[in-house]
Amino acid sequence: MRVFEYGKKFTALSVVALKPKKDRYEVSDVEPGLRIRVTSAGVKTYIVRYRYLDKSCRLTLGRVEDITLTDARDLAREATRKACARENPAVEKQEARQARIREERAKAEADLNLMDVALETYIDLHVKSMKSKYEVERILRKDVIPFWKGRDINAITKAHILELIRSIKKKGHDTHANRVFANIRVSPCTGIENARKRKQA
C-alpha cells in the first residue's frame, strides 16, 4: 500500500533521514511533482508524479544514491514542462530505453561477426577440448586473431587468408605458416576452403 506524506524542501540530510516504514510511502518536495518513494526495505527512489491528458502518471528518475538532489529537481522540472506541452516523459524514457536495448543487441550481434570474437568463441567451445589445445590456442591467439582483429568474418576471403600465410612465410617461418594454415582451415572462416584449393593448385 502506498502512503503519501507531504514534506518540506528536501535537503541532503533530510533525504538520508527518511526511514523505512511498514508500508511503502512517498514524501513530496517543494519542486512540483518531485517525490521520494521509500519502500519497506528502505530503498529510496526519486520519482515525478504529473498529469498527462487528465491521467496521473509517474516517472522514475533513479535511486537517491545514483542521482543528486539538484539533478532530480532539474529532471522533475523538465518532466513537468513536457507534460504541460502534451508530451509524456515516462513514455519517452521507455521508448529511449527500448531503442538503447535494440542498439546494444544489434551491436552484440555485429560483434559476433567479428573475426576475433568468432575465433575466441571457437577457442572456448572447441579448441579447449582438443588434445593439441595449447598449440592450437597459441597459434590462433598469436598469429591469427591479431592479424584479423576487427574484420567481419563474412568478409574474409581467400585473398585475406593467403595474405596472412604469406606474411608468416616472409619471416622465414614456412613450417609455422603451414601449421597456421592447417588450424585456420578448420576454424569458422569464410573462404578458407577456397584458399586451400588455391594453395594446392
Q: What is the pLDDT of residues 32-79, one digit of tens each?
A: 899 999 999 999 999 999 999 888 999 999 999 999 999 999 999 999
The fraction of the chain above a pLDDT of 70, given in percent, is 88
Residue 25's SS3 state is strand
Q: What is the DSSP letter of 23?
A: S
Model confidence over 98-129: pLDDT tens digits? Answer: 888 888 887 776 677 788 888 888 888 888 88
Q: What is the DSSP letter of 47?
A: E
Which distant-in-sequence residues (6+ apart) come within 8 Å of 130 by Cβ?
136
User: Is the predicted pLDDT of residue 82 greater than 60, yes or no?
Assistant: yes
DSSP string, 110-156: HHHTBHHHHHHHHHHHTGGGSTTHHHHHHHIIIIIHHHHTT-BGGG-
Q: Which three cell numbers stand for residue 21?
A: 516504514
User: Is the predicted pLDDT of residue 148 greater than 90, yes or no?
Assistant: no
Pick the CATH number of 3-108 from 3.30.300.30, 3.20.20.80, 3.30.160.390, 2.40.10.10: 3.30.160.390
Say how far apart CA 98 and CA 24 lie, in whole Å: 28
Please state the rounded mean pLDDT for residues 1-22.
Answer: 80
The pLDDT value recorded for residue 193 is 45
Strands (E), the chain: 3-5, 25-28, 34-38, 44-52, 55-63
Q: What is the mean pLDDT of the chain?
A: 84
